[in-house]
A = this chain, B = another copy of it.
Amino acid sequence: MLTIGKLSDAAGVKVTTIRYYEQIGLLPGAERSAGNQRLYARTAQDRLAFIRHARELGFTLEAIRDLLGLTDRPDQSCAEVDAIARAQLHAVQGRIARLKALEAELERMVDHCAGGTVADCRVVQVLGNHKHCAADHGRDLHGVSE
């Protein structure tokens, strides 16, 4: 049995984050010691590592919740798991594409800055006037964490 601190070290997830995951139902409530402190079995470490890794790959907690639900029924077809992963891949690819457009425009802005005064600054001009702008940005909120 691990205390929450040990589990935190073992899985590389902060103590507060573990409690948060429990609170939102991503981790089951832990056993408690006589003094009300959480005690975890090794399986908790695996589950937490799974969550952490999926977070690193940019899956939302909602997607992870679904994935965990699916891994709890290992006999099922993995089509759904696959679909979630593919959706995530597409999202990542979309974000890359948009970020590359932004990168190109930022580079253009920065490269054309002659180093004069703010009034003549290319960066300010581009930001202030959309006509100076080449890219047409799509719409998307929030990138991938960690």
**Interface of A with B (CB < 8 Å)?**
46, 49-50, 53-54, 56-58, 67, 70-71, 73-79, 81-82, 84-86, 88-89, 92-93, 95-96, 98-100, 102-103, 105-107, 109-110, 113, 115-121, 123-124, 126-130, 133, 137, 139-146
Contact = CB atoms under 8 A, between A and B. Distances in A.
Contacts of A118: 70-71, 73-78, 81
B103 A89 contact: yes
Contact of A127 (B50, B124, B128): B50
Chain A binding surface, main DSSP class: helix
Number of copies: 2
A59 to B, nearest CB: 8
A102 B110 contact: no
Contacts of A98: 144
A67 B113 contact: no
Contacts of A145: 140-142
